[in-house]
Amino acid sequence: MRAMVAEFSQDSEWEAKYARVIQKGKALAELPAAYRDEKFKVKGCQSQVWLHAELSPEGRLLLHGDSDAVIVRGLVACLIEVYNLATPSEVLASSPNFLKDVGFDSHLSPSRANGLHAMVKQIYLYATAFDAMARLKSPR
């Protein structure tokens, strides 16, 4: 999260920040076709957004995502950069304040900001589910 804030603080103009977001979207790995399914769509996004998470053998989140909109695809890439390879408990112990620190809360349109928060909520839901599964598997 700090790395994301530091990276975006290099740009003082929002045009440059938007260009950075778009570039991250262009660099985002292709979403496997199996995850481009209705059940992986994020509810609350005006654009189409797909997010899928799985747990690695080491217990870390592996996130996959995409969007049909250029800027939103970049926002998906930013979230994947922040949360990918974190443990579920690390995600749950963190706060998405970096969105405000980067300026996404104040410089995105209301519909994009709502969609961004829906994506973060979805990541936290995945982390909650994986954390609960890990608690059920661990001996007491």
Question: Could you list the active site residues?
Answer: 45
What is the distance between the alpha carbons of residues 29 and 87, in angstroms, rounded to a whole number?
21
Residue of 9, 40, 113, 43 whose CA lies nearest to 71: 113
Tokens of 54: 């799985």
Tokens of 7: 């990276």
What is the distance between the alpha carbons of residues 49 and 59, in angstroms, rounded to a whole number?
25
In contact, 10 and 3? CB cutoff 8 Å: no
Query: Which residues touch 43 (CB under 8 Å, ≥6 apart)?
Result: 118
Q: Which helix (H) or strand (E) holds 55?
A: strand 49-55
